[in-house]
Amino acid sequence: MTSPRARRVRRAALAVGQASLGVLLVAGVAWAGGQPAVTERIDAVDVARTSADGRQPGSTTVALERATLVCPGPELLGLDGARDLALETSATVVAAPVEAVGDVPVPSGTAALGIEPLPTATAPDDDADDSDRPDPTTVATSGLSETGAYLASGTGAAAPGLVATQETFAETEEVAGLASVPCGQAGPTAWLLGGGGGPGRAERLIVTNPGSNPVTVDITAYGVEGTTSPPDGQGLVVPAQGRVVLLSDALAPQEAQPAFGFVADGGDIAVALFETSLTGTQPTGFDAVTNAADPSRDHVIAGVQVPSEDSGTLLVRVVNPSDTEAIGTVAALTAQGERQLPEAVVRVPAGSVVDVPVSGLPAGPTTLAVSADTEVLAAARTFVSDGGPEAAWAVSRPALDGVGGAALPTRDDVTRTLVVAARGAGATVAVTQVAGGEATTSEALVPANGTVTVPLTGDGVWVRQVAGSGEVHGAVVTTGADGGPVVLSSVPLVEPLVSARRSEVVPLG
């Protein structure tokens, strides 16, 4: 007897074979019509979809006609049992100029940008009122006031290289600071490193499901004493096109050095962590943390702000998800190359977390590198006290495989700096900025195991490696301008989609 799953798979395969080819894009991930592309597994038998003349199906790079990115939405709204606190939250989505993305197929559709709440997100409406958009084909900004996640989208020529950033500015008696987080693509697994124990510190984890079916998520918590599977994080159902907000304390009560791993079943998720801190009645930090790079023996954390001497602290959080002890080191990748930090040697017991203090570095934006003898995770937290307390996390992210970019929300009272690092050998990168719809490109030489910084003034920035064999990493650091409020944030460059894949499909006979 044929199983129900086999019948479903066969019907799906036949439907795909009879349909015209197309490209589907959901939550920033492109699928060719007829996934999976080569085989289906039916009742434990691999059935290859081969044409009548014996040819195996192939795939073709095609133009990306629509891209979407998930923004977590207002961070202090929507937690069951907690008082909502509305803050000044917005999202900015920026289309990449042609020179930023390189030689890719050109979309045929009309260029348009949009930012809409889930679950009502649709393609941008060409006839919609664009009065609040400086240029609906180049940059769009929208306030986020509804409880829930949002989708930033681009169609036509605005799709390849699309980037978006959610940013919240707070200046209240309870929360003060700047929290910036990239809107990104969803995936089946995720990692969040951030937060801490003690009076006055609180973290909210936001798990978003941009798909059309519910997703079940299991969360693993890591801390000083080891690994746990918190009951509130097992079998967590995230509704279709919805989000769930959790307190860190519900998953890891009073944990001084928390980290969290997420595994989704039935779809993809996007995650973010928002951290607030109070000392007595004074706000002492507000920040957003995005998904960190998967476990690896080597990590690069670009966009770390080193505080001035005696005016803050810097630490590196190292998480060891393995079942053996990890021994690691921390180094700085400076403008002059790699600088070893002999005091920053860490032993991390299996399944646990250690925070490593870092000192002795010149103030300003830099890059830190973490190396270990087993696979770990890494992030860095800066706390500044000079002029008013504020804090920011920077996370390790994979090296750029193509172009990386970030949207830059318009704000008069801040200074934004691009931080680009090369691990191993050096690299030459092309830096493209867009301001007022005009694109400018310059090149920067990044030394081996070193870092360069570039001042930013536009609406968006993209970085693409054009020479050299070094692994390139990047981030945008935001600090308060002279005379402005004390703010600090770090947003990693994300690697946007620039094209899609279309697969040849051969019907099952």
Residues 93 and 40 in one domain: no
Q: Are residues 49 and 71 in the same domain?
A: no
Q: Which pLDDT score, from 0 to 100, does residue 18 have?
A: 37
How many beta carbons lie within 10 A of that of residue 399, not counting itself? 20
- Burial class (CB within 10 angstroms; exposed 0-12, middle 13-18, buried 19+) of 96: buried
Distance CA(302)–CA(309), nearest Å, equals: 20
Give the closest residue to 210 by CA, choosing from 410, 26, 383: 26
The answer to whether position 244 is within a domain reads yes
73 and 217 part of one domain: yes
CA atoms within 13 A on the CB side of 444: 24
Q: How high is the pLDDT of residue 264?
A: 99
Task: Kindly report the number of other CB atoms within 10 A of residue 324's CB atom.
Answer: 10
Same domain, 379 and 317: yes
328 and 204 assigned to the same domain: yes
Residue 430 included in any domain: yes
Structure confidence at residue 120 (pLDDT):
56
Residue 159, CA distances (Å) to 28, 62, 78, 138 in order: 10, 12, 30, 11
Shared domain for 109 and 8, answered yes or no, is: no
Q: Can you tell me whether residue 298 is helix, strand or coil?
A: strand
The verdict on 377 and 245 lying in the same domain is yes
| Residue 342 shares a structural domain with residue 468 | yes
- Is 502 part of a structural domain of the chain? no
Length of the chain: 509
Structure tokens given for 247: 């307190």
74 and 23 in a common domain: no
Residues 122 and 223 in one domain: yes
pLDDT of the chain along its 509 residues, tens only? Answer: 444 334 333 333 333 333 333 344 444 444 333 333 333 322 223 233 344 455 556 789 999 999 999 999 999 999 999 999 999 999 999 999 999 999 999 999 889 999 999 985 444 444 444 444 434 679 999 999 999 999 999 999 999 999 999 999 999 999 999 999 999 999 999 999 999 988 899 999 999 999 999 999 999 999 999 999 999 999 999 999 999 999 999 999 999 999 999 999 999 999 999 999 998 889 999 999 999 999 999 999 999 999 998 899 999 999 999 999 999 999 999 999 999 998 889 999 999 999 999 999 999 999 999 999 999 999 999 999 987 799 999 999 999 999 999 999 999 899 999 999 999 999 999 999 999 889 999 999 999 999 999 999 999 999 999 999 999 999 999 999 887 788 999 999 999 999 998 886 656 65
For the chain, what is the domain count? 2
Tell me: do 367 and 449 sit in the same domain. Answer: yes
Containing structural domain, residue 366 = 67-492
| pTM score above 0.85 | yes
Q: Dig out the tokens for 81 from the structure.
A: 């049992």
11, 126: one domain: no
Residue 461 domain flag: yes
Report CA torsion sign: 157, 164, 186, 304: positive
Farthest-apart Cα atoms in the chain, separation: 76
Token pair, residue 165, equals 């950033």
Residue type at 181 in one-letter notation: V
Residue 482 has a pLDDT of 83
The tokens for 374 are 């087993």
Q: Which helix (H) or strand (E) holds 238?
A: strand 236-238
pLDDT at 387: 75
Q: Which helix (H) or strand (E) holds 283?
A: strand 282-290
